[in-house]
Structure 1
Amino acid sequence: MKVHHILICFFLSLQDGNTGLTNAQMTPVYTGTEGGDIRVTCPFSSYGRSMFFCKRECKPEDILIHTTGVRDQRGRYSITYEGGGFFFVSITQLTKSDSGRYRCGLGELITELEIIVVDALLDGNPFKEKPLYTRAGGNIVVGCSFIFCGSRKYFCKEECGEKDILVETTGFTAERGRYSIKNMGQMMYVSITQLIKSDSGRYRCGLEQCVPPDSYREFEIIVKDDALVYAVPIFVIIAIILGLTLRICIQRKTKTEGLQTSENSDRANMELAPYENSPPVSTSESTYESLDPASRDQNQTYATLTHTHTT
């Protein structure tokens, strides 16, 4: 059944005037998501002494990595020869600026390829279809993967009625204002440039299959103003600064109270120091002699003092 679909789609493409794939459309296309990694294959019939990977026209400043060994790494780029007439190039931490045409060379042999970095890659798995948050003024690219081909490709919003069609084509590429669509076999790329807040909503990238029913992928875009995009990070930063300031104040207060307590203790010790070497205070028994007659010394003579009042 897949072969039948391919033959029918090829026949329809001939009717549309597309007599075959051009060199640009025959170029292998690799899709990666922003922030992720990608690995591309560079096929050759024999192994040479020099392997390189470059962008655009491959001028000296365009060479991203070059080696005469079997493997090498340079920043986000790595190159490896594993035999079998292939060597592989990997790029980590993809950004939108990585999208474009590349060349990989082995000696004097050069092959071309294209890399498209998307915000999301949809393959029909509902668990992967999460809202795409972006900021106003930016761009967004979504890749839609299909099993079958179709004659008409479209990109629409909300209910996807005729008035909701943003851009459509029966060819390979189409552009309408800020919207564009690019068809690369079983992969379709849709994009919106210069996003505004009213671009928020549900979207659908779809194709009219050669044999019904139609197939499509849905996704949601949420566009936020720059102020809202950066509000949360700024709030977090302010909270961290306030927390650190409060912590420093508490530490200083604790340290000050500790010094005051230590000073008071030293002052108290200094006040008590002069009395430490003084003799102990005598008790009443040692100060006054007992007046108990039984305990008096019998040989001791006591005198009676009489006070005479004179008038």
Structure 2
Amino acid sequence: MRSVQDLLFILCIVLSYVTRAAGLIHVFGYVGRDVDVSCSYGQGYKSHEKYLCKNDCGSSDVLITTSETKKNKFSIYDDKEKQTFTVTLSDLQSVDAGKYWCGVTRTGKDIYTEVKLELEQDTCCDKVDKIQSHERDSVSIICPYELEYQNNLKFICRGNQPSTCLQQAVITSDSKQNGRFTLTEDKESRRFTVNINKRTQEDSGWYLCGVHRNTGLDVFSAVELEVKVWCCVKTLAMSGTVTRPVTLQCPYPPHHQNNRKFLCKGDHRNNCTDVLSNGSRFTLQDDVSLSSFSVMITNLEAGDAAMRSSLCETGVGITRHCEAAGEPKGSEEIYANEETVGFSKQTTSKLQDACNVYSDADDDQPDYENFTATEEIYCNENFHVSNRKCGAFETCCSFSAKYRLHVVFLFIVVLSYVTRAAGVFHVFGYVGRDVNVSCSYGQGYESHEKYLCKNDCGDSDVLITTSETNQNKYSIYDDKEKRSFTVTISDLQSVDAGKYWCGVTRTGKDIYTEVKLKLEQDHCCNNVDKIQSHERDSVSIICPYQLEYQNNLKFICRGNQPSTCLQQAVITSDSKQNGRFTLTEDKESRRFTVNINNLTQEDSGWYLCGVHRNTGLDVFSAVELEVEGLMPQLHLILLQ
């Protein structure tokens, strides 16, 4: 006889141990630079080993694990508080591009998240537009772009280094005006124009026109600008004889037709004497239609040989070569710019003796003895590398009236010797991370020493120079081909924020460019929304934002590290769908929503909702998601 047993109710919980990737992480970088790959993991895995691997992730494919701090070009750090581990790949090469896996060890199958690394060369571009201009003029750099980037941020930077261009931009389409730089945009013709006023020779060099892409690397075009000086546009040589007249023809650029013209006598612009106002032997006639003026000197005197170029308004400067009877002629090379007038001379021991009686021999500038047979003399307001100041040569040339006189004259223009910054570089970073400060310089300064300094840039304020590779937390590299030097500041702390100066040494005043470094903590946020859900369910993460960011890129990432969030985003408002993640946006209510389907416990942890700002650091809000096991299911089992 069969017995009927009581009904038994059994409560069963089903656990799914399927290993899946929480979205694909796209990472972009440049050859020769570093890149961070940050991978989040769920609650409960803090003490588990993490690693980065390639290929099939066999033992030989593991690149680095959290049991080792550094291995070859890889370093790793596990932030257990943020439940994120970060692998830094240094000195990237083209072969480093491709697929990687972030791994978390556990009993059974490990947890993997796919990473795709895309690399480009850190130079631009195959085609370079060349522009020439002159000092004090204005110049316009025209930057075309594609229709798809009509609403994207535009910017321009100095140098030829895409990796730091936006960070070091001298002006963006958000700011429109920055000192001598202005930016205007014509969306109809799909181009933006950057105008630079009051150009100096320091403005020479490469510029990159940039368009900021919301995902992937930015888009660039290149321009090479050459700024010429009007000084020494033309050098003419003529001979004159004492007591005879001579006429000097002096051309000038048309835009200087209203400037005062003069003939100058003196060492420098600071002591330049206009001889036209002091003597009847000088007559000036200006022909505006020919953009030229002439000066007639009647009855040449030996003292006229002492006239020399000066840096004053539009005018004429006279240098001279003196030749003793029976001596060979000396070759002349005339150079004149805002810094230097240089010329060569040949001399005899007699002329040397005459030079040695120069009246300023006790001046505080260094004097040098022992003239050689051929001397190169450079005149500068602040520095002289000659064996004597140029004034000594004036004494030589006026030594005796019996010398035959050769007069060489040249046209010079007012040159502004103001050291100025070509815009202010704004650099943004996070405490505990590294930051690069890249500074461009003009052509001709490749061999000059560069440095980074603070405060007044005195000797004690210089942080590092190109004569040293590393100094404390600073390292420096000078790329002479790109005419740009980069200082890396490591392990940033709050006290590192503030004003810096990029410096380039030169005769006279150094060239400075101002840098403002702003820092924030690399974690978020004061308020954290907490969400609970269960395995196999779906969950919606709602991310509000301000009205001003309505048209900006939105994204979400795992972990709590703002510095790498956009780079490691699991989905963005550009993509809308990525595996189990979908993103929708309601601009009217100013919020976007990320939905995650088919949840697993590995989805537990922190998430950052991000809004990408065109300038400055991105804006974030935080959510902590807890995924519990499957909801208990009630099964009725009838036993007979």
TM over 0.5: no
TM-score w.r.t. structure 2 length? 0.19
Structure that is richer in helix per residue: 1
Structure that is richer in strand per residue: 2
